[in-house]
Amino acid sequence: MSELRRRLASWDTAIIGLTVIVLFVASFSVDNFGTSRNFTFMVLDLLPIILVALPMTFIIVTGEIDLSVASILGLTSSLMGWFWNHGLTIESIIPLCIVIGAVAGLINGFLITGLGLPSLAVTIGTLALYRGLAFVVLGDGAVADFPFSYTNWVTGTIGGGPVPNVLILIVVLALIFGVILHATPYGRSLYAIGANAQAAHFSGIRVARTKFWLYVASGAVCGLVGVLWTLRYSSARADNGSGLELAVVAAVLLGGVSIFGGKGSLPGVLAGVVLLTALQNALRLEDVSGQALNIVTGVLLVLSVLLPNIVNGIRGSWQRRKVRQAAALEVR
């Protein structure tokens, strides 16, 4: 297979293509989908998923997972309300929330890499723990009187046009994460860890330390998203972002990242997020109920795990044939 054909056949290229098709078809067949107003809304819907998906991609590439992301978001949202009620300025609350998110991630990281516990179990535990703490902080109430200058910036657009302000944030963070993953030795080491942690260790890669900092980064990003979520809806609540982890993991896997680690690309993940959000947005415009939209997320999640397995099964037999041919050549 030529380099180009291999590119075309890869899962992430396929998902990018599919996303373009879905956007194209939806903008013609779904009323109001292609409007600039809808574009703004879609970007705002996209915002939390895409930002949390960035560190999540890194974590899943190393073969681990972080299911506590939405709860860290909820906890920082709660704390943001509590701090605001207690008279802190918004300028000090925002960095504080990011740090608290990082600390929540640090606890995950310590339990997983320091004590060697499985990340799935640890982050299911902290999923409940952090959400519980969020309710302890704020109870069932909400804090809504955040300054307009901040809430307006989050929901606003550049110069009143169709491009939302937060798109800048998305582009900058996606670029940073993309460059780190695809063009630095650190990014290379993540793939090696995910595909074979022992060989990575033998190659001088500090496996535990690398994973530890990924959880800290994930927590910090969730802290930031907690702030953005609160400002977007102008409401700090303990249940903000509930269930977001499902959408994030679905989008990452849909984007071609292997749940077993070692495979995937950031462009694929970005396409996965856009595809998921666009589908939900289009269905909502067609008056499908919010509850039913979860079905879409669920089905896409299952498909994203199932389809690459089928494709790889076919490709694997082809690959094995090649290995045998190589071995035969060696004997000769």
Partner 1 sequence: MAEAPALLEVHDVSKSFGAVAAVQGVSFPLYGGEAHALVGENGAGKSTIVKMLAGVHRPDTGTLRVDGGDVVFASPGDAKSHGIAVIYQEPTLFPDLSVAENIAMGNQPLTRLKQIDRKAMTGNAARLFQRLGVHIDPARPARGLSIADQQLVEIAKALSSEARILIMDEPTAALSAVEVERLFSVVRSLRDEGAAIMFISHRFEEITALCERVTIMRDGKHVATEMVADLSVDDMIRRMVGRDLSALFPKQDVPPGEVLLEVEGLSREGVFRDISFSVRAGEIVALAGLVGAGRSEVMQAVFGVDAYDKGSVRFRGRKLKPGSPRAAMAAGLALVPEDRRQQGLVMELSIERNVTLPRARKLTRLGLLFGGSERRAAATWTQKLQTKLGRLSDAVGTLSGGNQQKVVLAKWLATGPQLLIVDEPTRGIDVGTKAEVHRLMSSLAADGLAVVMVSSELPEVLGMADRILVLREGRIAAELTRDEATEESVMYAAMGQEVSA
92 residue type, one letter: S
H/E element holding 285? helix 266-285
- From the list 184, 292, 295, 299, which residue makes contact with partner 1 (rule: CB under 8 A)? 184
Among 91, 140, 287, 330, binds partner 1 (CB under 8 A): 330
Q: Other CB atoms closer than 10 Å to residue 166's CB: what's the count?
A: 23
Q: Does 233 bind partner 1 (CB under 8 A)?
A: no
- Strand ranges, E, within the chain: 142-143, 236-237
Q: Scanning the structure block, which residue is given the tokens 């942690």?
A: 197
Q: Should residue 189 be labelled a site residue for partner 1 when binding is judged by CB under 8 A?
A: yes
Those residues with Cβ within 8 angstroms of residue 216's Cβ, 6 or more apart along the chain or in another chain: 102, 105, 106, 109
Closest separation in Å from C-beta 8 to partner 1: 15
User: CB 209 → partner 1: shortest distance, Å?
Assistant: 10
Question: Which of 291, 251, 243 minimizes the C-alpha distance to 275?
Answer: 251
Mask 199-218, x = binds partner 1 (CB under 8 A)? Answer: xxxxxxxx------------
191 binds partner 1 (CB under 8 A): yes
**How far apart (Å, rounded) are the C-alpha atoms in residues 311 and 91?**
50
Contact between 48 and partner 1 by CB under 8 A: the answer reads no
- Restricting to residues 3-42, name those near partner 1 by CB under 8 A: 3
Binding mask 269-308 for partner 1 (x = CB under 8 A): ----------------------------------------
Q: Which CB sits closer to partner 1, 20 or 183?
A: 183
Binding mask 250-269 for partner 1 (x = CB under 8 A): ------------xx------
Among 87, 160, 185, 313, binds partner 1 (CB under 8 A): 185
Distance CA 202, CA 238 (A): 44
267 within 8 A of 178, measured Cβ to Cβ: yes
91 near partner 1, rule: CB under 8 A: no
C-alpha span between 297 and 248 (Å, rounded) = 10
Q: How many residues bind partner 1 (CB under 8 A)?
A: 30
**Site membership for partner 1, residue 140 (CB under 8 A):** no
Interface with partner 1 includes 322 (CB under 8 A)? Answer: yes
Residue 236 contacts partner 1 per CB under 8 A: no
Residue 116 touching partner 1 (CB under 8 A): no
Count other C-beta atoms under 10 Å from residue 293's C-beta.
16
- Half-sphere exposure for 216 (CA within 13 Å, toward CB): 11
How far separated are the first and last CA of the chain, in Å rounded?
A: 24
Report 142-181 residues binding partner 1 (CB under 8 A). Answer: 179
Structure-token pair, residue 257? 């990242």
Where does this chain bind partner 1 (CB under 8 A)?
3, 179, 183-185, 188-189, 191-192, 195-196, 198-206, 262-263, 319, 322-323, 326-327, 329-331
